[in-house]
Chains A and B, each alone.
Chain A
Amino acid sequence: MRRNTYLLILISLLLGSSCKKRFEIEPEERILTSDVFDPKDVAGVLALQYLYGIYSYLPTGFNRVGGDYLDAGTDDAVSSVASGGSVNTFTNGQLTALNYPDNSWENSYTMIRNSNVFLKNIGVVPLDVNIKKRVIAEARFLRAFAYFELLKRYGGVPLVQDTIFKLEDNLNIPRNTFAECTEYIISECDVSAIDLPLGSTIASGEFGRIPREAALALKCRLYLYAASPLFNGGGFESNSQIRVLTGYATADPTRWQKVIDAAKTLIDVGFYKLPTGSGTATYSSVFTTKVNTDIILSRQSGNSTSIETTNAPVGYVAPAASNGRTSPTQNFVNAFPNLDGSPYTGSSTDTNQYKNRDPRLNAIIFYNGVRWLNRPVETFEGGLDKPNAPYKIQTQTSYYLRKFMGDFTTSTSYSNQSHNFPYFRFAEVLLNYAEGLNEIGGRTEEAVTQLISIRRRAGITAGTNNRYGIPSGISQSALRDLIRNDRRIELAFEEHRFWDIRRWKLTPADLSTNLKGLTIDKTGTVFTFSEKTIGTTFFQEKYYHMPIPYSEIIKNNQLIQNEGYE
């Protein structure tokens, strides 16, 4: 009996004591806010990592929209995936608030929140004062960039300022107007530009971080958009409440002056310029040379063969099968001027049409017969690159996209290349400048000078009058067409045309076009070209702006949908 009592007491003691032996109550390996924003870390290691975390939400660019380039949603190209790609919703008239494939709503507000978290907490980190100013400026730029991503898609969106929302906060927040958002982004660019380092001073190990000129370039592009017909009082909406959300209420042609000023400021800094040289190789190398003075800011990624394997013609298998994802259209090919800068007026079915053209053609397009990996591209019916086999993804137009790839004309297999998607290029600033100068009126020749710089680098011949194919005494409207066409070519597949054709407010009739491709038949050694329509783009006024995702509209009772998508 007594023994048993002792035993029970012993067991009770064991049970009792075991409860006290907790070594670790909360997981110590967790990284907390106080670790990321560490008041003792002079180097701010984790704080910088948090800043890089915000960078990671910048758009990826290449093959970004359901595996396709955003530009495959314009008249420049189609997805080789036979209308299966989501990018086709931009051209087939089926875009709705539920299927918008390029919705950046969540991504942008994530960038905005993370920037705000950074800005709120970075104060406690004992960084060197200049470094701290710089990282704050970077976070503010990234936040402004995120707002611009929203603005160009939807027009004005809710401006949350520095708010970091908590669970209990009211998230029924109305949209700010286009004017308010524009003003906010501009002021953020101005503020961040002060503390951002000049591009010339960015250390090579930090290449890819934001230079001051990027803030200037963002400002320049925003001013360009704001001055353009769609946003500059050109709203199509019947509802005036929506019209001020998606653009300025009234037109003001002097808005072009701001584009000119912003471009001039950037150009005058002098570090960024068109790299020397001209022609196909010079143009191509802008995209495969990681550091060059044309690239102001680009998405950094590890060297790889990803662009080649994703987009090169499908017949190449070394080392891995190429997937030929993008089929540029004949419409786009026809936009390339002749070598002397004059517009191409020949036939689409001319087998010699690729000769004596703008040298950028060879940098951007694969066409039948051009050499690649040591053999000619075969996009004729039954050729290696258009095998006409079941399931096979293959070109729909006889063309494949070549831009952004390394030069593998005579190689036997791919090697890793630098592939950085450009957000801001000096060439764009020049084209913005040219457009501003032309639109403001009375400064047409200054605009011509800018366009000539672009054309000279492209490798267009100067001509006897040294005007690179631009007629003397060219009118404002004729130059407008030229600038727009050069913008189309120079900035192709860099996510400009999709927005440009909208901000120019080209009419729905202009934007509803037949997309053309070629059928190439080979008989013996003779090729015959015939043109075919591979699709038609459907455009309605509502597509000038993108639909706010339905899932957001129903969760925020203050959020007004853009007209036509209700």
Chain B
Amino acid sequence: MNIYFTSPPRYLFLCASCLALLSHEVKAVTHSKWALSQFQKDLFQEDSAANNSVDLIYFRSKKSTTTTSSSVVKGADIARTPVVPFPLAITGRLAGLQVSQGSGQPLNEGFSFNLRGQAPLVLIDGIPRNLTEIGNDEIESITVLKDAVSTAMLGIRGSGGAIVVTTKKGLENSQQINFTSQFGTQRPTKNLITQPLDSYQYATLYNEALGNDGLSVLSNGFSPQTLAGYQDGSDPFKYPNVNWQDEVLRKSSSYSRYNLNTRGGGKFAKYFVNLEHTNQEGIFKTDEINKYNTNASGKNYFMRSNLDMQINDKLSAGIYIQGRILNRNEPGVRFSSNNIFSALTNTPRGAYPIFNADNSYGGSSLYQNNIVAQSISSGYSVFYNRTVLSDFNIKRTLNEILPGLWVKARASFFSNLGENIVRNKTFATFEHVGSNPTTGAAIYRQYGTTSQTSNTNFVDFQNRSDFQELSFGYSTKFKKNHAFNGLLLANRDNLISGTNITSNLPYTIQGISGHGDYNFKEKYMFEFSFGWNGANRNPPDGKFNYGFFPAVGLGWDISKEEFMQKSVWINQLKLYGSYGKTGRDNGDYFTYIQSFNTTRGITLGSTAGGATGRVETGLANPNTTWEKADKLNIGFKSAFLNESLSFSVEYYSNSLYDLKITRGNNSSLLGIDFPTENIGKERYRGVETELFWSKQTKKLGYSIGINASFQNSKSIFSDEPNLKYDYMERTGKRIGQRFGYTAEGLYQSQADIDNSSKIEGYKPQPGDIKYKDLNDDGLINQFDINAIGTTKPLILTGMQLGLNFKGFNLSAFLQGIFNREIYLSGDSYFAFQNSGRGQAFEHHQNRWTSATAATATYPRLSTGAGPNNGNPNNQAVSSFWLSKGNYVRVKYLEFGYTVPGSITNKIKLKNTRLFINALNPLSFNSKTLKDVDPEEFTGAYPIQKVYTLGLTIQL
């Protein structure tokens, strides 16, 4: 066979060798029309068997009879999304799950989950795994489990809900070889609300700010000569005006992904073998002078082999193995990329020239780290993350004892090593400080030194885990109308983690879980599940403490009632609900033991020697235990017109209690830090809804799916201290409710100030933010802080659109968030942060001055110093800085063309598809975030828009 595309040669050997391995199977391929249609079904439509069931944690359940709350996304929908961690591909696709991203750096995306307000547990093939990077094409489906009856079996790990990733397995009577090649470009989104000012504008505003602060421009400001120099730009060495972003960052970088997999099987064995490679180039400019890569890039290799064997008619076994290599490259030492972005946000354009007249790196006493040098003259470091994951199972039916009974054993081993190789170096910068009075030669002051490249290597972390499980299952149908499925299992998950410094004792979770479901004619359903498990590390002696977490579910499918049988257009009208208890143990490391550390040494003796000092490591809590949650979920699911139209809605109310918090009344009279105690209570409530409509004719098909979830929360108890006014209390408010002063615009004049309440500890100036005196005591102080901003529930939405016409298809996915508020602050938004040395941005042109009083949107400028320093007042948390942060993002677009079989069959290909796609191409945001990335607008590594062109070939 031939591969009809060009690919960088270094990947070819990989592909070629893989193909060689599989060549004997290639020969076996039959090019029937059946296979073609099967392929289309697999790739572009949903497999009907999978479509009818839902992957719960330890088993699959029929969608029609489950009473659990779950949402599913198919691997085929997300496989071509140009991201590496799969959570970034499912953002918004699953009702109730929010994935936020904080950075665009490959393999350091800083994302977080929010599933009904909690952080869910990730399971891969039914085993908890702290993994979020796996090959895109490995994924068969991703399911989120949200209620008690679906997660009670996890026992003390169930409270957060679960994300269940199922990998692809072999297919009986089939043989496929799929090859996908995808390459394209990544373009950064805007990561700042407005852009930094040029040197002249910056210096002008700085001098204005000094005046506002009551400081002398003569002593602390930019001289008229300097201002003139910045303005005319005639001496870029003395009066630089450097656009640092342009100097250090690329406008685009490359992305590529290659996947080769084969899937098939016969009667005896079924297999799925997947090889995948992604390569994301970083955003930094590099220099030819370096023989190594200094860019912040990520290269990943994923290998998986899932093999299922039917050894005889009673015995089957499975071997699932994954290997994974993630390589993250960075300039300088680990996480230097963050430092570069921090420097980009904080360095004014006039701070220093990139290069001095003598071609040395520029710098100054306050800005000694030349940003260009940080990116290309700091060496590099590589973070290697290597994983081997192997799952084994063996299953035996026990029909001879009882028809429908089986027993299964699973064992798994997981090993993960994170290693840092640091080959960094330091550099010197030079500041032109004057000239030799006699020779006139320039005098430079040096900061830092230029060093040789270092060579260090350390283990960042090591994780190992082993997992064992024995389960018994039973399914039966009796008297035709009654169906029962039962499962009882015992498992043990043993995790050992450590760093190069310490190695903790294992964290082991073990126990028994069970599940049973019964239905009568698929009309009435009853379901129960429980987890009885525990973890070590808890009082009184570190041995296991077990907790019992039961849950029940009930369901009624009205459409199955006799009186509905005439309405054939109704496929499902299911009312269902569940209630139960779940737990969360956060693995605190033996915090019940009062222990001592040596963090506080002193100096003693006439020769000033060190003496070890020993203190308690916080106060032990002898009663610490896991957190609990009582979860109620009520839902309604309906499907009509042969399931082409479906609608569902769910309501949930989760009461969390025994939450580990530090008590609010943590009086220092105790004399030691309070430990966390199981006293917190919170409640999360919400509604989730999904609507789906699809229509397929012979040539044309389209579909539309919408999901929306409304999330609300309430703090019930946090042991708040005695607060003078009710409005100061957080109890009863949303979790994470922002508290601050209520801004009432800016003081316009001294008279305005005189007529307003006094601000305690502050002398306001015109142009300062005026705050509301909530208790009307004529004084603005801590008693005027209350909840600010919206109290409305957060709304998360997602919409997917699909359209196909003949061989063409178009799909789009949009993600939206409403009632979101952002708080504008920090180095990327405020002027002259970091003791006045920070940046100023375009929006500061709109600051308050006596001339712009009427239209100002930013308070008077301040350098953060001086007798009239405005920052203590103006940067206090207040509603002034709150802004709407709603957005609708076109998360994913794909346009594809499947070459007609009549053509591809001639070249012995089953199927060929060309596609172009785009990640994050567009976003419609609230006004403040216009043109800016709605998730990362604080100057960190920008989130990327990715456009790729791809080809999928099936043999």
Q: Is the CB of B667 within 8 A of A556?
A: yes
In the assembled complex, A192 has its CB within 8 A of some CB on chain B: no
Q: Is the CB of A4 within 8 A of B596?
A: no
At the interface, is chain B mostly helix, strand, loop or mixed?
Answer: loop
List chain A residues, Cβ under 8 A from B606: 204-205, 207, 290-291
Out of B614, B667, B864, name the residue touching A52 (CB < 8 Å): B614
In the assembled complex, B242 has its CB within 8 A of some CB on chain A: no
Q: How far is the CB of A415 from chain B (nearest CB, A)?
A: 14
Q: Which of B153-212 contact A (CB under 8 A)?
A: 203, 206
At the interface, is chain A mostly helix, strand, loop or mixed?
Answer: loop
Out of A27, A50, A111, A117, name the residue touching B505 (CB < 8 Å): A27
Q: Is the CB of B671 within 8 A of A35?
A: no
Q: Is the CB of B835 within 8 A of A52?
A: no
List chain A residues, Cβ under 8 A from B612: 49, 52
On whether A555 and B365 interact (CB within 8 A), knowing A27-B590, A300-B604, the answer reads no
List chain A residues, Cβ under 8 A from B206: 390
Q: Is the CB of B611 within 8 A of A388?
A: no
Q: Is the CB of A390 within 8 A of B220?
A: yes
Q: Is the CB of A4 within 8 A of B867?
A: no
* Complex interface: stretch among B520-528, B535-543, B884-892, B946-954: B535-543
Q: How far is the CB of B430 from chain A (nearest CB, A)?
A: 13
Q: Is the CB of B394 within 8 A of A555?
A: no
* Complex interface: stretch among A12-20, A212-220, A271-279: A12-20
Q: How far is the CB of A134 from chain B (nearest CB, A)?
A: 14
On whether A418 and B722 interact (CB within 8 A), knowing A4-B315, A82-B865, the answer reads no
Out of B608, B614, B666, name the residue touching A302 (CB < 8 Å): B608
In the assembled complex, A8 has its CB within 8 A of some CB on chain B: yes
> 5 shortest A-B CB distances, which residue pairs?
A113-B671, A94-B761, A56-B600, A49-B614, A554-B721
Cα distance A1–B396 in the bound complex, in angstroms: 9
Cα distance A121–B321 in the bound complex, in angstroms: 55
In the assembled complex, A98 has its CB within 8 A of some CB on chain B: yes
Q: Is the CB of B600 within 8 A of A390?
A: no
Q: Is the CB of A303 within 8 A of B608?
A: yes
28 contacts between A and B (CB under 8 A): A8-B396, A15-B470, A25-B543, A26-B542, A30-B595, A56-B600, A56-B615, A84-B835, A84-B869, A92-B867, A94-B760, A94-B762, A98-B781, A109-B670, A112-B671, A114-B671, A116-B671, A167-B674, A204-B607, A208-B603, A301-B603, A301-B608, A302-B603, A321-B365, A390-B203, A552-B667, A554-B723, A556-B667
> Which residue of A is nearest B834, CB measured?
A391
Q: Which of A92-110 contact B (CB under 8 A)?
A: 92, 94-96, 98-99, 105-106, 109-110
In the assembled complex, B605 has its CB within 8 A of some CB on chain A: yes
Out of A19, A116, A557, name the residue touching B492 (CB < 8 Å): A19
Q: Is the CB of A392 within 8 A of B220?
A: yes
List chain A residues, Cβ under 8 A from B674: 167
List chain A residues, Cβ under 8 A from B869: 83-84
On whether A300 and B669 interact (CB within 8 A), knowing A35-B596, A53-B615, the answer reads no
Q: Is the CB of A165 within 8 A of B596?
A: no
List chain A residues, Cβ under 8 A from B866: 82-84
In the assembled complex, B490 has its CB within 8 A of some CB on chain A: yes
Out of A55, A290, A386, A551, name the residue touching B613 (CB < 8 Å): A55
On whether A11 and B510 interact (CB within 8 A), knowing A171-B670, A555-B667, the answer reads no
Q: How far is the CB of B463 from chain A (nearest CB, A)?
A: 18
Q: How far is the CB of B780 from chain A (nearest CB, A)?
A: 11
Q: Is the CB of A206 within 8 A of B605?
A: yes
Q: How far is the CB of A514 from chain B (nearest CB, A)?
A: 13
Out of A50, A57, A205, name the residue touching B604 (CB < 8 Å): A205
Out of A82, A205, A301, name the residue touching B215 (CB < 8 Å): A82
Q: Is the CB of B836 within 8 A of A391?
A: yes
Q: How far is the CB of A2 from chain B (nearest CB, A)?
A: 12
List chain B residues, Cβ under 8 A from A32: 593-596
List chain B residues, Cβ under 8 A from A302: 603, 608, 610
Q: How far is the CB of A94 from chain B (nearest CB, A)?
A: 4
On whether A113 and B615 interact (CB within 8 A), knowing A15-B470, A52-B604, A209-B604, the answer reads no
Out of B541, B593, B597, B761, name the residue touching A95 (CB < 8 Å): B761
List chain B residues, Cβ under 8 A from A557: 722
Q: Which of A1-44 contact B (CB under 8 A)?
A: 1, 4, 7-8, 11-12, 14-15, 18-19, 24-27, 30-33, 35-36
Q: How far is the CB of A197 from chain B (nearest CB, A)?
A: 14
In the assembled complex, B609 has its CB within 8 A of some CB on chain A: yes
Out of A26, A98, A167, A209, name the residue touching B677 (CB < 8 Å): A167
> Which residue of A is nearest B312, CB measured?
A4
In the assembled complex, B22 has its CB within 8 A of some CB on chain A: no
Q: Is the CB of B761 within 8 A of A205?
A: no
In the assembled complex, A550 has its CB within 8 A of some CB on chain B: yes
In the assembled complex, A370 has its CB within 8 A of some CB on chain B: no
List chain A residues, Cβ under 8 A from B594: 32-33
On whether A53 and B600 interact (CB within 8 A), knowing A114-B615, A418-B608, the answer reads yes
Q: How far is the CB of A320 from chain B (nearest CB, A)?
A: 10
Cα distance A164–B468 in the bound complex, in angstroms: 46
* A-side interface residues, number (CB < 8 Å): 87
In the assembled complex, A317 has its CB within 8 A of some CB on chain B: yes
List chain B residues, Cβ under 8 A from A83: 213, 865-867, 869
Cα distance A15–B600 in the bound complex, in angstroms: 45
Cα distance A25–B596 in the bound complex, in angstroms: 19
Q: How far is the CB of A311 from chain B (nearest CB, A)?
A: 17
Q: How far is the CB of B117 from chain A (nearest CB, A)?
A: 28
Mark interface residues in B428-463 (1 if CB within 8 Å of A CB, else 0): 000000000000000001000000000000000000
Mark interface residues in B912-925 (1 if CB within 8 Å of A CB, else 0): 00000000000000
Cα distance A442–B865 in the bound complex, in angstroms: 51
Q: How far is the CB of B348 from chain A (nearest CB, A)?
A: 9
In the assembled complex, B366 has its CB within 8 A of some CB on chain A: yes
Cα distance A171–B664 in the bound complex, in angstroms: 13
Q: How far is the CB of A315 from chain B (nearest CB, A)?
A: 11
Cα distance A206–B612 in the bound complex, in angstroms: 13
> Which residue of B is nearest A57, CB measured?
B600
On whether A52 and B601 interact (CB within 8 A), knowing A8-B396, A171-B667, the answer reads yes
On whether A52 and B669 interact (CB within 8 A), knowing A18-B492, A82-B866, the answer reads no
Q: Is the CB of A11 within 8 A of B409?
A: yes
List chain A residues, Cβ under 8 A from B610: 302
Cα distance A14–B763 in the bound complex, in angstroms: 75
In the assembled complex, B621 has its CB within 8 A of some CB on chain A: yes
Q: Is the CB of A171 within 8 A of B541?
A: no
> Which residue of B is nearest A160, CB measured?
B669
List chain B residues, Cβ under 8 A from A89: 761
Q: How far is the CB of B876 from chain A (nearest CB, A)?
A: 11
Cα distance A25–B220 in the bound complex, in angstroms: 62
In the assembled complex, B130 has its CB within 8 A of some CB on chain A: no
Mark interface residues in A499-540 (1 if CB within 8 Å of B CB, else 0): 000000000000000000000000000000000000100000
> Which residue of A is nearest B594, CB measured?
A33
8 extra A-B contacts, CB within 8 A, seeds A26-B593, A31-B595, A49-B612: A4-B315, A15-B409, A31-B614, A82-B866, A204-B606, A302-B608, A390-B221, A552-B667
Mark interface residues in B526-564 (1 if CB within 8 Å of A CB, else 0): 000000000010000111000000000000000000000
List chain A residues, Cβ under 8 A from B668: 105-106, 109-110, 552
Listed residue (B607, B608, B664, B869) with the most chain A CB atoms within 10 angstroms of its CB? B608
Cα distance A32–B617 in the bound complex, in angstroms: 10
Q: Is the CB of A52 within 8 A of B613?
A: yes
Listed residue (A26, A99, A386) with the most chain B CB atoms within 10 angstroms of its CB? A26
In the assembled complex, B222 has its CB within 8 A of some CB on chain A: yes
Mark interface residues in A139-169 (1 if CB within 8 Å of B CB, else 0): 0000000000000000000101000110100
In the assembled complex, A269 has its CB within 8 A of some CB on chain B: no
Q: Which of B570-609 contact A (CB under 8 A)?
A: 589-590, 593-598, 600-609
Mark interface residues in B487-500 (1 if CB within 8 Å of A CB, else 0): 00010100000000
Q: Which of A170-206 contact B (CB under 8 A)?
A: 171, 173, 204-206
Q: Which of B647-698 contact A (CB under 8 A)?
A: 664-672, 674-675, 677
